[in-house]
Amino acid sequence: MIRSEHLSLSTWSLHRLLGPLRWTIWDDASRTPAIREEFQPAEMELLELPAVLAQRGFRFLEVCHFHFPATEEAYVKKLKAAFEASGVIFHTLLVDYGDISSPDEGRREADIRYLQGWIDVAAQAGARAVRIVAGEQPAGDAAAIARSCEALRSLDAYASAQGVRIVTENFRSLTSTISSWSAVLVGFGQKQATIVDFGNLTEEEKEAGIAFGAPQAHSIHAKPDYLADGSIDTESFGRLLDIVKSSGCEAPVSIIFDRPGNMWEGIEAIRAVMVR
């Protein structure tokens, strides 16, 4: 269904193995983004992951920002070297924080400055792109969509100067419907500028949403549904993958696994369905 050369992974699929999750939250008291750390065991270092993925046959990796244990230049250079040595491509730095659609100008400007810092990190690490959340305001809010698109265009100009692309995703409320997601992409105005996540679409819009997003995808986040016995619903998952394939999409396809149990086993079970 998916060619092996398109096989990718998100670090979210290993979030119980890569050490503490460093979530970013908005601190109303200081009016700045702040870090809240959540313990997870460190069975593997992020610096080791590109080589491990190369051995397992993955071609691309998307890294969640909260998996970076440090952002100092010396560490980021080591990460870039690890990718280069492995041959795995650092496809996307996934920043899971920020409301660039907020009507609160101070919040919006602070978040944009914060996101610029992650664009700097992505450029230093050799990432192809940074995924920016379009916004947390309600879907269909025209003013919020306009604010989001203005910020996306501004961040894209900032990133382009450093050789990095900006993409968004059907992630969080502003892009939670096809119509609102489409309005954001039209207003942003860039090609191949969205990630398409199976798990973030409603059941009513899932197939139509994938058909809409796949032709303009930077990457696909392939997250299956599961049956009552815990096995993958191969029929529904196969149908969604077929929609991606029939669209002509050539983007990397990242396995998304976030259920209980052994994470590598869960990843390999999804891979067995995807790559045939």
For 55-76, how does the pLDDT look when each residue is reduced to its tens digit (9 = 90+)?
999 999 999 999 999 999 999 9
Residues in contact with 94: Cβ distance below 8 Å, sequence separation at least 6, in sequence order: 10, 11, 12, 62, 63, 64, 65, 131
3-state secondary structure of 181: helix
CA pair distance 124, 140, nearest whole angstrom: 36
Residue pair 8/54 in contact (Cβ under 8 Å)? The answer is no
Residue pair 209/170 in contact (Cβ under 8 Å)? The answer is yes
3-state secondary structure of 187: helix
Residues 33-41, mean pLDDT to the nearest whole number: 97
pLDDT tens digit string along 86-134? 999 999 999 999 999 999 999 999 999 999 999 999 999 999 999 999 9
3-state secondary structure 1-60: CCCHHHEEEEHHHHCCCECCEEEEEEECCCCEEEEEEECCCECCCHHHHHHHHHHCCCCE
Average pLDDT, the chain: 97
pLDDT for res 135: 98
pLDDT for res 276: 72
pLDDT for res 125: 98
Q: In the block, which residue shows the tokens 């995807």? A: 274
CA pair distance 133, 97, nearest whole angstrom: 7
Residue 1 has pLDDT above 90, yes or no: no
3-state secondary structure of 93: strand
Residues in contact with 101: Cβ distance below 8 Å, sequence separation at least 6, in sequence order: 108, 134, 135, 136, 137, 141, 144, 145, 147, 148, 151, 174
Residues 24-49, mean pLDDT to the nearest whole number: 97
Q: How confident is the model at residue 43 (pLDDT cuts 50, 70, 90)?
A: very high
Residues 20-30, mean pLDDT to the nearest whole number: 97
Residue pair 235/267 in contact (Cβ under 8 Å)? The answer is no
Between the alpha carbon of residue 123 and those of residues 90, 93, 192, the distances in Å are 11, 10, 19
Residues 167-188, mean pLDDT to the nearest whole number: 98
Instruction: Kindly report the CATH class assigned to 4-274.
Output: alpha beta
CA pair distance 68, 18, nearest whole angstrom: 9
pLDDT tens digit string along 202-235? 999 999 999 999 999 999 999 999 999 999 999 9
Give 262's DSSP letter. -
Helix axes of 178-188 and 142-160: crossing angle, nearest 10 degrees: 40
Residue 52 has pLDDT above 90, yes or no: yes
